[in-house]
Chains A and B, each alone.
Chain A
């Protein structure tokens, strides 16, 4: 299984002590150079550099071929008020997901809204929650509740449980 990763996911995930679980779930992950250009903090740079050095993160080689998809995604985010603003790093991550059938790793609500509202961009999108849940299902994490608490403490992320109506 492969993934496509955007900047927000990497920024959030890089602070998590158990971040190596990503390498157990996926064979490798695609990223584009704009994502690398956006990261600046030491924790994110250290994490992303190590993933590149290990060969887990791969720069997507067919970027020009997916530019028409990216253009459509950015256009939709600009004109549809239900979709939050998307910048090229998130749009490319989604376009790679669509093109390569890769799981899109993002915390962007804009990406999730486009996938939900526009069937032509149908793709599997996971936030950190879905990644942790999958890791739990496969036995890489023993206690999901404790791990979510740990993730909150380490990254500042918030998981809010609500009752389904």
Chain B
């Protein structure tokens, strides 16, 4: 692989990570941690997984709940479910 090709891939990964980090920071900041820590262990770890990874389906499967029920748990925990990072030109 040429150096130029490598740089292109690295930059793409960097941009993806930057968006993911921004989203994660918002989830961490807005989350009601007292509520989250009061959940049963399975739900607590599923919510924490979502906060860290932002992977809704993965966290939903871990929770053992249907999608809308898991989203309701996230809303109760004050965790924003959907975040859009808008890049200003």
Residue ranges of A at the interface with B (Cβ–Cβ < 8 Å) = 7-8, 11-12, 38-41, 44, 82, 84-87, 90, 107-110, 113, 127-129, 155-164
Q: Mark B43-77, 1 if CB is under 8 A from A, else 0.
A: 00000000001111110010000111101100100
Verify B84–A160 contact, CB threshold 8 A: yes
Interface on chain A toward B: helix, strand, loop, or mixed SS? mixed
Q: A44-B68, A84-B58, A109-B54 are in contact. Are A157 and B88 (CB under 8 A)?
A: no
Contacts of A129 in B (CB 8 A): 84, 86
Verify B16–A160 contact, CB threshold 8 A: no
A39 to B69, CA, bound (A): 9
Verify B80–A158 contact, CB threshold 8 A: yes
Contacts of A162 in B (CB 8 A): 22, 85-88
Verify B86–A160 contact, CB threshold 8 A: yes
Verify A160–B22 contact, CB threshold 8 A: yes
Q: A157-B84, A158-B26, A162-B85 are in contact. Are A86 and B57 (CB under 8 A)?
A: yes
Q: Which partner residue on chain B sits nearest A132 by CB separation?
A: B84
Contacts of B84 in A (CB 8 A): 107, 127-129, 157-160
